[in-house]
Every structure is written in structure tokens, then in C-alpha cells.
Structure 1
Amino acid sequence: MSAQAAQDEVRRFLLENPGFLLDDPDLMRALRLQPLPENVVAFGPAALARVHAAHRRESAARRQLESTARANFAAQAQTHGAVIDLLEARNHADLARRVDDLAQLRFALVAGAVALEGPERAPAGWRPLVEGQVDLILGGHQKLARMGFWAPALGLFGDRADQVKSMALVRLAIWEPAREGLIAFGSADPNGFTEDMGAELVAFLARVVERTAERWPVL
């Protein structure tokens, strides 16, 4: 018999035999129950404490889930708004400015930047990188993103680098043949971006930046 079936059987028995508990003082004591006038069974303090503790745990878990859901919804809403901002860029310099603006104004970050490897020059407003530097920053050719603090990437944030305590870095591949690049967001909070954090929303913005940048050639 399964546990649920056993519980159902016990419940059915008690419903059919309401005096069973009251007629067994030892069982009443073991369950920490006590009879009240008119044969009403009351839970003792220990039983009530267990019920109250379980309710607190359930309420705390529910609040945490609700808080996480609200945060995720807010982040997604801000990301969708950021996409509209990026798609309205008029040129490469304007696109880089918009990345920095949305980092500060939409996500309350220190800075946002886009960077591109050479040897050809980077577009106006983009951080220039030497060939192979993207792999060095991300930690490997196959790695698409890096979250957390990584000192070698601080130079991407220019004169605001000393304010950055954590960062989100995602690889870019633009034009054909592809040139490697990065989109980078820096936070003043050490826990703003952590190694165990998913990079999906940042990667989504990276894909938008790629497609938008390909509208114009690098002059």
C-alpha cells in the first residue's frame, strides 16, 4: 500500500470512528493532543509550534519565489526596452553610446561598452582590441560569455574602470568574414554579476548589437 493510500485509509477510519482518539489516552499523549469540553480535540503547544513553523517556511519560500519572478519580469521588460533603443541607433558611434546609456539608465550599472579586434581600426566609440584579445579575456576560443570580476577586462570601461566590481562579458562576431568583439557591462556591486549567474539576457543584447552594427561598414 502506498503512503498516500495508507493516509487515506487512516483518515477514513478516524472519520468513521470519531471516538477512537478520545478513548485512547496513550495515543492522545503521544500525539500531544488534549480533549476540550464536548469532546473537541485541541492541538497542544508543540503541535501548534510545528504547524506555525511550517507555515513560516512556506510563506518565506513563496515570498522568495514572488520576488525572483518580479525581478526576472523587470529585467526582461528593461531588456526589451533596451532592444528598441539599440535598433534606433544611427551609426556605430551612436550604437556604442546607446549601449553605455542603457547600462547606466536602464540597469543602474557603471558602464556599458562594445569592443572590436583589429588589425583594422575599430568604429568610432568602440574599444579597440588586438587580435586574440577576446579569447584571452573570455578564457578560451569556445567560451561565449564570462560573468563575475575579471581584472584583465577592466580596460574596457575606460575612466570608470575603478568603479567596476563585477562584469558581464559576451562575445560578438560581426560582418563577413567575422570580426571578433565583446559587449561588456560593469557593475559597482561585487554581486551584480557572479560566476554562477546565467548570461542569457546579456547574450540576447549582444545578438541585437551584432545585427544592428552590420547595417553599416567600418569606414
Structure 2
Amino acid sequence: MSSTTAELDDSLRKKIIEKPDMVLDDPNVMRALVAANERAMGTNIVDLRGIAMERLETRLDRLEDTHRSVIAAAYENLAGTNQIHRAVLRLLDPESFAVFMEILRGDLRDILRVDALALILETTQEEAGAAVERVGDVLKFTEAGFVDSYVAQGRSYGGDRPVILRQIQAGPSRIYGDRGADLRSEACLRLDLGAGRLPGLLVFGAEDPHQFTPQHGTDLLTFFGGVFERCMRRWLS
């Protein structure tokens, strides 16, 4: 029994001597060796080198976590950029306003992965609003001043921001139709439709309360809103 153990020890010793990196690169083995060394020194001795190693390990773990977070954020940003690019290209496809509206009802909502979408145009022509506005339809005509009041919702700040992201209890049926009751967050994109025209608003609604929150960046949606309002100017000219 003892000879077998000795032979095993000799074999292991030889392997370690030949490839010491095998031990040095294994954090679990190194921890076990350091712990055995501390036990051998007794409780009266403070191993400053061991303490320094523990602190370095903690910093390394922290750095690895940060590295993983940065990579995850980069992939998320890339996916979001690709998504917006696809949506912009789809907006440029239609050759008529009717087809443009059909894209809003279908493809655009699917590409952006939102549960509801509405295009709000302010107008002073009540007859046009009554004729076009339908519950559940994408296009909504409202009275002048509606965009500012809807975006602000009684707050005095953020009124001039092109994109507002927020969580909601529900979306108004006037805007979202029957889907409004299920919505828990929304994005509001202000639209500048050109000189002499009243403003517009493009809104996205989501059932996920975390899809649109004030903590999220708005650069991509600001860019998308700029493209969208330029498309609208072409159709309104």
C-alpha cells in the first residue's frame, strides 16, 4: 500500500516539475496550497503576501465582471442599431402614403418589437379628424396642443426633449385603442413636420414595463424620429 502511494507521489511530483504551469494556472489548486501554507505557519503570523493575493483576486473578479458587462452592453447596442437601421430602410420603401401607413400597422411594429404604435397629428380641421380617427387605427387626429400636453402629462420638465421614455399604468384608449389596457411602458417621439405645420407625435407602447424607461438611452430613437419626420414631410408636401 505504502509503495503504491510513494509511486503515485513520485509520478505526480515528476508531472508537476515538468509542467508547473498546470498548477500555477489552476486557481483552485493555488488557493488550496496557500491555505495549507497559512495553516503550517500557525495563527501568530500574518501573511501579507497572501492578503495581497486575495485583494488582487477580488480586483480581478471585479474587472472580469465589468468586462462581461461591457461586452453585453456592446452586443445590445449593436442589436439595437441593426434594428433601427432595418426600420429606417423599411420606411423608405413605400411609394404611396397608403402603403406607408400599412407598413406602420404591420412591418414597423414587428421590426421594432413593440405591442402598439400610433401616429398622432394635430389639426384644426375637426371634420378631418372625425372622418379619419377610428378606435384602434394607427393614425390619430387631435386638437392643437395635444402633443405638448400628452408628453408633459402635467410635468413642467422634459417638454422640449425629442424622445420621452416612461412607464405607464395603461395607455389611453384614444391613442392605443383596445391594446391600451395591457401597456406598461411607452416611447414618445416628437415630430417636427416643417414650417407652418402643427407638430406630430409617434408613440410606441409595450406590455413589458422595462422596455421603455427613463434610464435607457434615446440616441437611436432620436435618430429614428428624425428620419420618420422627414418621411412625413414628404407625404404632407
- TM-score calculated relative to the size of structure 1: 0.71
For the residues of structure 1 that align with 2:107 and 2:46, how far apart are their CA atoms? Answer: 63
The answer to whether the 8 Å contact 2:171/2:181 transfers is no
What is residue 146 of structure 1 aligned with on the other side? Answer: 164
What is residue 207 of structure 1 aligned with on the other side? Answer: 226
What is residue 41 of structure 1 aligned with on the other side? Answer: none
Distance change >3 Å, CA 169–CA 130, structure 1 → 2:
same
Deviation sequence 1:38-89 (CA, Å, 0-9, x none): xxxxxx3x44432322221111100000000110011111111111100112
Deviation sequence 1:109-152 (CA, Å, 0-9, x none): 21222110112336785111111000101116534332112468
Distance change >3 Å, CA 152–CA 142, structure 1 → 2:
farther
What is residue 146 of structure 2 aligned with on the other side? Answer: 133
What is residue 113 of structure 1 aligned with on the other side? Answer: 118
The answer to whether the 8 Å contact 2:120/2:202 transfers is yes
* C-alpha displacement of 1:102: 4.5
For the residues of structure 2 that align with 1:197 and 1:171, how far apart are their CA atoms? Answer: 17
More strand by share: 1
* C-alpha displacement of 1:103: 4.8
Percent of pairs with identical residues: 25
Could you tell me which amino acid in structure 2 is paired with residue 32 of structure 1? L
Task: Specify the SS of the correspondent of 2:235.
Answer: coil
For the residues of structure 2 that align with 1:144 and 1:191, how far apart are their CA atoms? Answer: 20
For the residues of structure 2 that align with 1:195 and 1:130, how far apart are their CA atoms? Answer: 27
Q: Indicate the larger mover: 92-101 or 67-76.
A: 92-101
| 2:201 pairs with 1:196 | no
* C-alpha displacement of 1:175: 4.3
Distance change >3 Å, CA 151–CA 117, structure 1 → 2:
farther
RMSD: 2.7
Q: Indicate the larger mover: 187-196 or 88-97.
A: 88-97
Distance change >3 Å, CA 94–CA 160, structure 1 → 2:
farther
What is residue 70 of structure 1 aligned with on the other side? Answer: 75
Q: Which runs of 4+ in 1 moved over 6 A?
A: none
More helix by share: 2
What is residue 48 of structure 2 aligned with on the other side? Answer: 32
State how many pairs are aligned: 180
Unaligned runs of 5+ in 1: 1-28, 34-43
Unaligned runs of 5+ in 2: 1-44
2:96 is aligned, of 86, 91, 96, to 91
Distance change >3 Å, CA 102–CA 47, structure 1 → 2:
farther
Distance change >3 Å, CA 63–CA 102, structure 1 → 2:
farther
Could you tell me which amino acid in structure 2 is paired with residue 83 of structure 1? V
* C-alpha displacement of 1:100: 4.1
Deviation sequence 1:147-168 (CA, Å, 0-9, x none): 1124685332222112211011
For the residues of structure 2 that align with 1:119 and 1:150, how far apart are their CA atoms? Answer: 29
